[in-house]
Amino acid sequence: MKYQFLFFILITIVGITACNHPSEKEPATAGGVQTEIPLSFFTAHQTDSLLRSALDSVVKAKVEPPMAYGILGFSKDSAPYMVTIRTAAGAVEMHELWDDVAIIRSGHGVLKTGNEVAGGRKEAGEHSGNWVGGVIQDVTERVLSPGDFVIIPALLAHQYIPNPGDSLTYWTFKVKRPKN
């Protein structure tokens, strides 16, 4: 699992580099005041190219399930903005500190959600509070189609499953939950 994570990071870096972004960042202005937030811009072609390259590498490496993602940028809270393509069911995920805001770009599938997860959960990634694995017990299913907009609040287990023979592509924006 550790090597798969490192593999995905490498693919993401290669993909973003291949997107031909301008090397010089133009400062933004708000009401005439210069800000430090650089603009991130990806054309549909660049996003498609990033995903195709990442997915081709995953398929060649025989990573299961075949899914790839690209990190398109980060918020000031270090939350990633991502684009993901799945050709098979993903693992159950739950985030304690982040809401997921997703927009379905292409493909069709199902989003399973629920509050109770049984079995096999473990902490994932560098950030504590991210869990993967297990089975959602009190599952609710929603059909996904291009253009759908989904907000998955922190602590809600979720699993993306593309329809058989289809791939599901979606953008995800992580939003940090304020501390109580």
- Rounded to an integer, what distance in angstroms lies between the CA atom of residue 104 and that of residue 119? 29
63-112, pLDDT tens digit by residue? 777 788 888 888 888 888 889 999 999 999 998 888 999 999 999 999 99
Mean pLDDT of the chain: 78
The domain spans of the chain are 2-20+27-176
- At the topology level, CATH places domain 2-20+27-176 in Jelly Rolls (2.60.120)
Decide: 159 and 91 in contact? Cβ < 8 Å. Answer: yes
